[in-house]
């Protein structure tokens, strides 16, 4: 038997998994600072739940992993985190949870689709959502949190922002038939990728007069103030313009203008989003794809539960794969310190135990390599601190700590070493 991974799956070796976990820790700590609570939903779901009227669309069902258990029940693996979130709201609203409900979840999802660059069959999603709040107040806070998250990760980002109602209003305003609005949105959403000519080519099949398309593309060049001065008066545009103006007022007052760009053709798909939408990009353009995105989806949970109540919702997904790709050159050690014993095995174990009791991650050299080889290994694996512990250090109670990052040595008393190391680690831990 040839041992290999299932196509579309991968194993994260320690160098990558360390980075992923650090990223997740930074993100989840920030989420909790903003009042979001952790949620862990079941991977295994009833297939009928996954195939319900949730607006994932029929296309996604082609990619659901479907199976039958021993009781001949038809089950499936979750393909996103929104369906399970909707299930939780449905089962627990006004019982175990109260609205508004703010949650985050990091977990694996599964899709039996074509495998290509950027598409896997098994991958992590990192979602933050709130259900039960209307208006731009929560959107503003979520954008604030999003920018803060990437700042803490050391990634300078900009966020492209639009409103679906505004976009639909612009399309209607140039005389395009309402019945094909969704088709037009699907194409203009690709404007940044394939250009005006590419979009026009796609829209040829809809038999839209070129004059109308030219008017639409001219509107896409306008900023918020310029659009506000137009004579467009359809209901969709008026509502969308009001919301986008309010949101950008928040953005200005929060001093986030350098990170926010109004992009009037941004849609993020077809019918899922009902208001604000946004996508996050790396300012250095090391990746051309979005590294995060979200928006308002007021109908999904409302239609899913269908109990006569309204369940407005807004959320964002953080792209763990592209984020980690941007940080992959940042080799992170899983250890804080290496101890190299020189005939001091017992003393080294005792010292390591003392340091570990203070949450310092310690590894002991046990392969009896020469000091030079052990130091080379520590350097290669980015271990920031090294102690060579010999009989003389035990006698004098004085230890020399080698700072591998700065090529300096610090002498400390063995009895105070845990405090000295802890302070140094805290000062140098910028990621």
Task: Indicate whether 423 pLDDT > 80.
Answer: no
pLDDT at 119 > cutoff 90: no
Q: How far apart are CA 95 and CA 97, in angstroms?
A: 6
Give backbone dihedrals phi and psi of 23, rounded to 5 degrees, phi first: -60, -50
Return the higher-pLDDT residue of 293 and 425.
Answer: 293
Which position has the token pair 């009227």?
Answer: 53
Helix (H, G, I), strand (E, B) or coil at 162: strand
Distance CA 173, CA 161 (A): 20
Contact 8, 114 (CB under 8 A): no
Distance CA 170, CA 264 (A): 9
Average pLDDT of the chain? 90
Residue 150's contacts (CB-CB under 8 Å, 6 or more residues apart) are 156, 157, 280, 291, 292
Integer-rounded Cα radius of gyration of the chain = 27
* 91-97, Cβ contacts within 8 angstroms, sequence gap of 24 or more: 93/305, 93/311
Longest CA span, the chain:
90
pTM of the model: 0.86
pLDDT tens-digit map of 54-85: 655 566 788 999 999 999 999 999 999 988 99
Query: 430: exposed, middle or buried (C-beta count within 10 Å: 0-12, 13-18, 19+)?
Result: exposed
How far apart are the C-alpha atoms of 74 and 48, rounded to whole Å? 8
Measured in whole angstroms, the distance separating CA 393 from the mean position of its chain's CA atoms is 47
What would the two tokens of residue 19 be? 């980075």
Give the whole-number percent of the chain exceeding pLDDT 90: 65
| Residue-level pLDDT at 366 | 94
CATH number of 337-428: 3.40.50.800
- CA–CA dist 232, 116 (Å, integer): 42
Mean pLDDT of 351-372: 92
Q: CATH 3.40.50.800 occupies which residues in the chain?
A: 337-428
Evaluate whether 276 touches 260 at the Cβ level (below 8 Å): no
| Residue 253 φ/ψ, nearest 5 degrees | -65, -30
Mean pLDDT of 404-422: 80
pLDDT of 181 above 80 = yes
The rounded percent of the chain whose pLDDT value lies above 70 is 95
Instruction: Report how far residue 349's alpha carbon sits from residue 364's, in angstroms, rounded to the nearest whole number.
Output: 8
pLDDT digits (tens, 9 = 90+) for 269-299: 767 899 999 999 999 999 988 999 999 999 8
Pick the most confident of 12-16, 77-81, 181-185, 407-411: 77-81
Count of other CB atoms within 10 angstroms of residue 66: 13
For residue 46, what are the contacts with CB-CB under 8 A and spacing of at least 6? 73, 74, 75, 76
| Separation between Cα atoms, residue 421 and residue 207, nearest integer Å | 70
More confident residue, 332 or 279: 279
CA-CA distance, 420 to 424, in Å (whole number)? 6
């Amino acid at each position: 038997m040839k041992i290999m991974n299932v196509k579309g799956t991968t194993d994260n070796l320690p160098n990558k998994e360390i980075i992923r976990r650090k990223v997740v820790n930074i993100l989840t700590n920030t989420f909790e600072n903003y009042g979001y609570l952790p949620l862990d939903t079941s991977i295994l779901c009833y297939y009928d739940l996954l195939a319900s009227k949730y607006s994932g669309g029929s296309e996604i069902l082609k990619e659901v992993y479907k199976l039958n258990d021993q009781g001949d029940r038809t089950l499936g693996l979750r393909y996103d985190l929104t369906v399970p979130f909707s299930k939780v709201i449905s089962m627990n609203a006004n019982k175990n949870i109260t609205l508004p409900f703010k949650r985050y979840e990091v977990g694996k999802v599964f899709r039996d689709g074509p495998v290509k660059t950027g598409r896997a069959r098994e991958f992590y999603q990192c979602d933050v959502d709130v259900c039960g709040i209307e208006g731009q107040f929560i959107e503003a806070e979520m954008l604030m949190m999003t920018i803060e998250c990437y700042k803490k990760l050391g990634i300078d980002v900009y966020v492209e922002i639009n409103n679906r109602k505004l976009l639909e209003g612009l399309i209607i305003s140039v005389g395009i038939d309402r019945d094909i609005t969704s088709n037009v949105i699907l194409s203009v959403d690709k404007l940044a990728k394939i250009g005006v000519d590419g979009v026009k080519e796609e829209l040829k099949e809809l038999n839209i007069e070129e004059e109308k398309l030219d008017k639409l593309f001219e509107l896409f060049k306008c900023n918020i103030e310029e659009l506000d001065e137009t004579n467009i008066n359809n209901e969709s545009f008026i509502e969308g313009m009001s919301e986008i103006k309010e949101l950008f007022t928040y953005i200005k007052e929060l001093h986030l203008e350098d990170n926010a760009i109004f992009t009037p053709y941004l849609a993020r798909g077809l019918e899922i989003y009902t208001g604000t939408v946004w996508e996050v990009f790396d300012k250095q353009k090391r990746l051309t794809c979005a590294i995060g995105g979200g928006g308002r989806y007021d109908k999904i949970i409302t239609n899913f539960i269908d109990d006569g109540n309204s369940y407005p919702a807004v959320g964002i997904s953080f792209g763990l794969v592209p984020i980690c790709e941007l940080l992959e050159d940042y080799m992170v050690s899983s250890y804080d310190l290496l101890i190299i014993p020189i005939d001091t095995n017992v003393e080294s174990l005792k010292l390591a135990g003392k340091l570990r009791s203070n949450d310092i991650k310690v590894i002991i050299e046990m392969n009896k390599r020469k000091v030079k080889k052990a130091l080379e290994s520590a350097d290669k694996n980015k271990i920031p601190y090294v102690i060579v512990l010999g009989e003389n250090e035990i006698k004098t109670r004085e230890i020399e700590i080698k700072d591998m990052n700065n090529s300096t040595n610090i002498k400390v008393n063995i009895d105070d070493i845990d405090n000295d190391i802890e302070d140094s680690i805290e000062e140098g831990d910028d990621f």
